[in-house]
Structure 1
Amino acid sequence: MLETGTVSIGTAGKLDDDVAFILAKAAELNLPKITTLGHEGARDEFARRLSRTNPPAPDGVEAEDILVAGIPARRYGPAGGPKVKAALLYAHGGGFVVGDLETHDPHCRALAAESGSVVISLHYRRAPEHMYPAAIHDAKAALAWLAAEYPGWRLGVAGDSAGGTIAAVLALHARDLGLPLALQILIYPAVDQMGDFPSRQRLGEGYILTRDDIAWFNAQYFGEGRAPLRDTEAAPLYAASHAGLAPALVVTCGFDPLVDEGEAYVEKLRGAGVPVRHVRLEGSVHGCLGLAGYVASGKAALAEASRAWSSVC
């Protein structure tokens, strides 16, 4: 059973020392802004960075590349087969533009190793080649596949950043279909594409994800010059109702431009009677999961996700 409540890790208003070191090092190296490289260059640069900062992959996990409803995916499970009848669909982060099966491979291996379950990592179609709502359509198709492939199993959805948005949308979709989910894991999700919350301005520079980055990702995903949407499938915060959704783990970071909307989503879920565990990484930044090879908060985010999923398997 998911342990609910709010957990604060770190000191409010103070960057963790290891995160501050990473930010200073990145500034010293004068790394190129991903958003200036074009979408293909951005993908290469994002993958290169995460290959250096991701956590090590655990042993004892088997993986195979498969197609899920015609969509590239990777299936993970403990060596010798799953220990529990549970399957988790994971959507990677990357602003709907970057990120792939490789960038999030260690995280999915850790989830499978810790829980003894099957984990399916989905490589949904990315923008700008495939704009909104292509990624959502792929995720919905994958969820239908998951339910058919593992009948009677406990099912869950998870994702970080853009993948967290997808997971939140899938939880709403599953409820509307009458498909029970054991858990939704939302790691620093974007749930308000209008960007009205103060943290998007207050923390819009100097903490890895910037307001300019968000604007660039939105332009790729929604279209140049097109205002971000309040459609439920773009901004799940504005769903007509959040009642009856699966229990949720929501991870937010104190120095993330998306922190305000993530915490608003926590309150929206709680107000609708949804069991929620909210973990606030006070001194961390957006994307810390991809820094888990170096920063304690990234390790904590992954450990919280693994523990939550294991608790409902």
Structure 2
Amino acid sequence: MLLSKEELEQSSHLDQSIHDFLSNAQMPPPDVNVPVHLMVRQQLKTQSTTLVEKLGQPPKGTEEFYKEIPVRDGFSSSLKIHKPTNGGGPLVVLAFGGGFLGGDNDQLSEYSRALVQLFGATVVNISYRVGPENKFPQAQHDAWDSLIWIAENAKGEELSADPSMGFVMGGVSAGGALMACLSRQFQEAPLAHPLTGQWLCIPAVMDNAGIPEKYKSYHISREQNSNNPTMPSAMLDAMIQLSEIDTNSELAFAVHSKTDVGGQPKTYFQVAGMDPLRDDGLIYEDMLKEAGVSTKLDFYPGAVHGHQMMVGMLDLGKRTNIDTLVGFGWLLGKEISREEAAKAFGIDVV
């Protein structure tokens, strides 16, 4: 979805409801004495802990549990599995966000429960090791190995899924970056079951060096939104540096993949207007669409990176989260109403 420079400029103005929320919250400025990775981890861990406490026990007729699986270097990586007791539904694999510096497989539990309820899906939240202790491409290898295990064991007793009903992978922010790269890799190294869709929410999928020439004039969000209140471009640069990400690698940004972009599964994008990653999503969606891939995109002018988690109680956050579930319905070929999505997420219809 390509926008004019005027439309891009307008979309980068902070939404009034987010402005008011941030003003009233009186959030203290970041402590310059705390390393970026520790600050990110602390914030995300607090969010996950609060979320798990809020959600409580699994709903009746569902199961939730953690499972350790081996990855290529012998490390045990954790999966968090949500599924209906009876099983036999589509398979969804999710990856958390956190700039490759933090996050965990509890982060997307609220979405996972809703997907189980709405679609009878088995939802697997993967883990991956983060920086700066673990350098690139450790996270990518962990995620790759997890997807292989999940696909090979999809129909087994622990997952009880039927990938022929749908096999969707996706993630938020860094998780979206991971999944976008791996989806391209799986074109040449197919999984045990073919992917049928992907969800890319506020993903990083390109850098300036990898943007096709025809799109370079549209990739301005790194500079235009460099001083946004939640993820300034300086923080984005620090995240890349701390994990020593090779920005020219096809495991870093999907745009560097040598595979045919037209071989991608149907893809649902969510993009925020005041996000330094805004134009990654807008351009990549257009690249896929031009190559014949079926795409769907929801765009949120004035929204900051990760707004749906930070201000989920505001109408903009509610609308975004409802869109997410409706978008998964599109990916899985099962249309659901906004009322059904809102009920599954435990919020009002917006």
- Name the TM-score class by shorter chain: 0.7 to 0.9
Does the alignment pair 1:116 with 2:115? no
| 1:62 counterpart residue number | 63
Normalised by the length of structure 2, the TM-score is 0.76
Does the alignment pair 1:300 with 2:304? no
Shift of 1:295: 2.8
Gaps of 5+ in 1: none
How far does the alpha carbon of each residue in 1:247-271 deviate from its partner, in whole angstroms, 9 at most, with x for none? Answer: 0001100111110111111111112
| 1:96 counterpart residue number | 100
Does the alignment pair 1:235 with 2:274? no
Q: Which residue identity is paired with 1:43?
A: R
Q: Which residue identity is paired with 2:282?
A: E
Q: Matched residues in 1 for 2:240 and 2:69: separation?
A: 26
Kindly indicate whether the alpha-carbon contact (under 8 Å) linking 1:50 and 1:291 is maintained by their aligned counterparts in 2: no
Shift of 1:245: 0.7
Gaps of 5+ in 2: 71-75, 156-161, 210-215, 334-350
Greater Cα radius of gyration, structure 1 or 2? 2
For this pair of structures, how many residues does the alignment match? 300
- Specify which structure has the bigger relative contact order, considering alpha-carbon pairs within 8 angstroms and separated by 6 or more residues: 1
Q: Which residue identity is paired with 1:163?
A: G
Q: Which residue identity is paired with 2:27?
A: L
Q: Matched residues in 2 for 1:265 and 1:204: separation?
A: 20
| DSSP-derived class of the 2:263 partner | coil
Normalised by the length of structure 1, the TM-score is 0.85
Shift of 1:40: 3.5
Does the alignment pair 1:126 with 2:130? yes
Kindly indicate whether the alpha-carbon contact (under 8 Å) linking 2:197 and 2:266 is maintained by their aligned counterparts in 1: yes
2:233 pairs, out of 211, 216, 230, with 211
| 2:168 counterpart residue number | 156
Shift of 1:30: 1.6
Q: How does 1:1-313 map to 2 (within 5 A)?
A: 12=11, 14-26=13-25, 28-32=26-30, 36-49=34-47, 57=55, 60=59, 61-69=62-70, 70-78=76-84, 80-82=85-87, 84-151=88-155, 153=163, 154-179=166-191, 180-194=194-208, 197-222=219-244, 228-240=246-258, 241-311=260-330, 312=332
Shift of 1:186: 0.3
Instruction: Provide closer, same or farther for how the CA distance between residues 68 and 276 of structure 1 changes in structure 2, counting only shifts above 3 A.
Output: farther
Instruction: Provide closer, same or farther for how the CA distance between residues 192 and 54 of structure 1 changes in structure 2, counting only shifts above 3 A.
Output: farther
Kindly indicate whether the alpha-carbon contact (under 8 Å) linking 1:50 and 1:290 is maintained by their aligned counterparts in 2: no
Instruction: Provide closer, same or farther for how the CA distance between residues 98 and 163 of structure 1 changes in structure 2, counting only shifts above 3 A.
Output: same
Q: Which residue identity is paired with 1:32?
A: P
When the two chains are superposed, the root-mean-square deviation of aligned CA atoms in Å is 3.0
Shift of 1:276: 0.4
Q: Matched residues in 1 for 2:208 and 2:53: separation?
A: 33
Instruction: Provide closer, same or farther for how the CA distance between residues 131 and 103 of structure 1 changes in structure 2, counting only shifts above 3 A.
Output: same
Instruction: Provide closer, same or farther for how the CA distance between residues 175 and 300 of structure 1 changes in structure 2, counting only shifts above 3 A.
Output: farther
Give percent identity, aligned residues only: 23
Shift of 1:13: 5.3
